[in-house]
Amino acid sequence: MTKKPAKKSRRTTVVVCVNRMRGPRGKCCGQNGSLKIADRLEAGIRERGLNVELERIVCLGKCDVGPNLKFVGGEFRHELSLDDVPRLLDEFEKIAGKNEKKELLYPGA
Ligand code: FES
What's the confidence (pLDDT) of residue 10?
A: 79
Distance from Cα 57 to the centre of ligand 1, integer Å: 9
Q: What is the DSSP string of the chain?
A: -PPPPPPPP--EEEEEE---S--TTS--SGGGTHHHHHHHHHHHHHHHTBSEEEEEES--S-GGG-S-EEETTS-EE-S--GGGHHHHHHHHHHHH-B-TT---S-TT-
What's the confidence (pLDDT) of residue 100?
A: 76
What's the confidence (pLDDT) of residue 41?
A: 98
* Mutate which of 59, 65, 78 for ligand 1 pocket (most atoms within 8 A of beta carbon): 59
* Mutate which of 21, 32, 68 for ligand 1 pocket (most atoms within 8 A of beta carbon): 68
What's the confidence (pLDDT) of residue 22?
A: 76
Q: Is the CB of 19 under 6 A from ligand 1?
A: yes
What's the confidence (pLDDT) of residue 103?
A: 57
